[in-house]
Amino acid sequence: MQINSQIFKAYDIRGIYPTDINEENIAIVIKAIYVFFTEKISNDRQLKVVLSYDMRLSGDSLFAVAKKTLVDLGAEVIDTGKLSTPSFYYTVSHYHYDCGIQITASHNPPQWNGLKFVINSPKGLIKIGKSTGMDMIKEMSQKTITYTPKYKGLLTPKNNILPDEVKSSLQMLNNPTIKNFKIVADPANAMGATYIEALFNAVSATLIKMNFDLDGNFPAHQPDPLDFTNLESLQNRVIEEKADLGLAPDGDGDRLFFIDEKGQVVSASMITALVAREFLKNNPGETILFDIRYILTPSKIVEENKGKSLITKVGHAFITEALNASGGIFAGESSGHYFFRDTGNAESQLPIILTVLKVLSEEGKTLSELVEEVRRSFESGETNFKVTNANEILETIKNIYKDGELSEIDGISISYNNWRFNMRTSNTEPLLRLNVEALDKNVLDEKVKILKDQITNVAK
């Protein structure tokens, strides 16, 4: 059968159920992934493949097909049931399994589903994306795959993952003493609820739960914290409860946004700077990574704390790949992904939450005070333009700002002494994305307005 080639994205496989992804074609894709695994890892022993899924309505049936397909191919399937994506990564890395497949569509609407998949390696997890094998899997999925199983497949249930994950996260931070904070969390009826609940079963806190029941219909709101309208009820609740902070993970739990005690959304780059500062206290000289969109605050904090900075392309698979190559200790992405060397260079939100709580406990300051303490710049937030001539716009803007310092790591980034911007096309949607930052808020506002007008004048 013909599979829509558009489901093979830069970092994962994702499409609408049952049009693009269904019980029939997922078996073909799973077979392609497994053959890819055998070629990259080994065909001379039985592979241990972690298989998990999230709360999406189509998840149960797709998981059942994936499980049967892998067993029929001769794998030992490590059946974890429902897991967040960070817990899935933890399972593959911590227990030293060969590889894994997570059935999820992240923050997308209810009718979507998809696959994220990884290989374990001595340097860390290898997420399969555009630069690490996605095109090969796409090609195999479009033709008849010949593969003769060498082993009798089997199922191995895996339980008690979350208590181990919490314990590992506490050990990463030397089992810090945490004050009893009041915390409001809204995981939007999605997978972040699982690790947040597990964490605060082990760490003392007053946890106020919003939308914790897993429900793939997402009855409260979309599980997408990048759309700040989805955070309004959480922001209001933090203020009403006089809470210390709020937590907002996305659908599969691999992104996380913080709300401060004033009900304001904390930008991810400020959290990156705060965590980088904390890690560099005991690990001077280590490398901290962050993506190209916002670099002024993190890079300055890393420099002040005697660390090294490395700027990456946007995208969780690219960042994990860069961590594997660099040996960096920590990475933060502007969209709320956070990565640690100690978690196989993959996302883990538990150490992020614990680090913030540790610093709050030790310094006796509010979250908003800590943010202002590390702030070295101001950010516009991402503006998206739906256009059909993105390349023309990029060339036009590049020419207008040809006196600035140009980087083409991802799209175009142009820097001046007191401000900079990044403009890039989306890896997953037909959008042109603009991010601007400056050392002065007035300069930021001025440059954002000018850039928006310049883009609009050329856009088609």
Q: Do 240 and 293 belong to one domain? A: no
Q: Which percentage of the chain shows pLDDT scores above 90? A: 96
pLDDT of residue 49: 98
- Given a cut of 80, whether residue 170 has pLDDT beyond it is yes
- What pLDDT shows up at residue 420? 98
| pTM of the complete model | 0.96
Q: What is the pLDDT of residue 428?
A: 64
| Residue 177 belongs to some domain of the structure | no
Residues 132 and 205 in one domain: no
Radius of gyration of the chain (CA): 22
| Tens of pLDDT, residues 258-295 | 999 999 999 999 999 999 999 999 999 999 999 999 99
Whether residue 276 is found in the same domain as residue 366: yes
Residues 91 and 105 in one domain: yes
Tens of pLDDT, residues 372-385:
999 999 999 999 99
For 87-120, what is each residue's pLDDT tens digit? 999 999 999 999 999 999 999 999 999 999 999 9
Within a domain: residue 387?
Answer: yes
Is 164 part of a structural domain of the chain?
Answer: no
Q: Could you tell me if residue 175 is inside a domain?
A: no
Does 340 map to a domain? yes
Same domain for 308 and 330?
yes
Cβ atoms within 10 Å of 270's Cβ, excluding its own = 26
Residues 272 and 242 in one domain: no
Which amino acid belongs to residue 276? Answer: A
Do 338 and 413 share a structural domain? no
* In the chain, % of residues over pLDDT 70: 100
CATH number of the domain encompassing residue 221: 3.40.120.10
Boundary (domain end) residue, out of 334, 349, 373: 373
Task: Single out the residue in 338, 373, 408 at which a domain terminates.
Answer: 373
Q: Where does residue 435 fall: left (phi above 0), alpha (psi -120 to 50 degrees), or beta otherwise?
A: beta
* Domain contains 171: no
| Domain containing residue 348 | 268-373
Q: Tell me, yes or no, whether 34 and 144 share the same domain.
A: yes
Q: What is the CATH number of the domain that holds 424?
A: 3.30.310.50
Instruction: Give domain status of residue 165, yes or no.
Output: no
Give the pLDDT score at 426.
Answer: 82
Cβ pair 309, 303 in contact under 8 A: yes
Q: Which residues are catalytic?
A: 106
Rounded mean pLDDT of 318-333? 96
Residues 121 and 49 in one domain: yes
Instruction: Give the pLDDT of residue 121.
Output: 97
Output the pLDDT for position 245.
98
Residue 1 in this model has a pLDDT that exceeds 90: no
On whether both 363 and 398 belong to a single domain, the answer is no
- Which pLDDT does position 142 carry in this prediction? 93
Q: What total number of domains does the chain contain?
A: 4
pLDDT digits (tens, 9 = 90+) for 232-248: 999 999 999 999 999 99
- Please say which residue of 158, 175, 192 terminates a domain: 158
More confident residue, 30 or 460: 30
Cis before 187 (ω within 30): no
DSSP 82-135: E--HHHHHHHHHHTT-SEEEEE--TTS-TTEEEEEEEEEETTEEEE-STTTTHH
Average pLDDT over residues 186-204: 98
Task: Return the closest-CA partner of residue 252 out of 113, 355, 382.
Answer: 113
- Any idea which residue has 């400020």 for tokens? 270
Mean local confidence (pLDDT), 52-79: 98
Question: pLDDT confidence of 2, banded at 50, 70, 90?
Answer: confident
pLDDT of residue 460: 86
Does 199 reside within a domain? yes
User: Do residues 51 and 151 both lie within one domain?
Assistant: yes
Quote the mean pLDDT of the chain: 97
Residue 273 and residue 261 share a domain: no
Q: Where are the beta strands (DSSP E) in 191-315?
A: 206-209, 245-249, 256-259, 265-266, 287-291, 308-312
Cα gap 234→97, rounded to integer Å: 37
Which residues, listed in sequence order, are joined to residue 78 by a DSSP beta bridge? Answer: 50, 156
- Give the bridge partners for 119, in sequence order: 99, 126
Give the pLDDT confidence of 404-430 residue by residue, as tens digits. Answer: 999 999 999 999 999 999 999 986 677
